[in-house]
Amino acid sequence: MVRRVLPTLGIATVYRAIKRGLEGGTLREVPLHGEPSRYEPAGLPHHHHFNCRSCHKVFDIHACPGSRLLRALTPRGYRLESHDLVLHGQCPSCAGASAT
Ligand SMILES: [Zn+2]
Ligand SMILES: [Zn+2]
């Protein structure tokens, strides 16, 4: 995405910047199943992600199943500390395109 704005930017420079951001705590990794990880600024309010299987875009979801539900899913004796949630499917424009 950055390369579209800065076409002369080398990919090695981008990876170096990402690595620095992760080490410095200004970036966090968004691991996706079966796709390259995405990165976002650290310290955003708690949220989740929707990964479109057609266009491979990742959308922020500003909703959470909530700690009560997640605690109910946690097996007895385990201590829940954090969670990641990625929804997979189709974004509105891809869902619309396949419906026609
Ligand atoms: Zn899509
Ligand atoms: Zn959550």
Ligand nearest to the CA of 48: 2
Q: Please give the pLDDT value at position 46.
A: 93
Same domain, 28 and 52: no
Same domain, 97 and 51: yes
- From ligand 1's centre to the CA of 53, what distance in Å? 7
Same domain, 2 and 24: yes
Residue stretches of the chain with pLDDT short of 50: none
Q: Please give the pLDDT value at position 9.
A: 77
Q: Please give the pLDDT value at position 76.
A: 95
Q: How many CA atoms lie within 13 A of 80 on its CB side?
A: 14
Ligand nearest to the CA of 83: 2
Same domain, 40 and 59: no
Residue 92: give the domain boundaries.
Answer: 45-100
**Residues 69, 63: Cα–Cα separation, whole Å:** 13
**Residues 23, 26: Cα–Cα separation, whole Å:** 8
Same domain, 49 and 36: no
pTM of the model: 0.76
Same domain, 82 and 69: yes
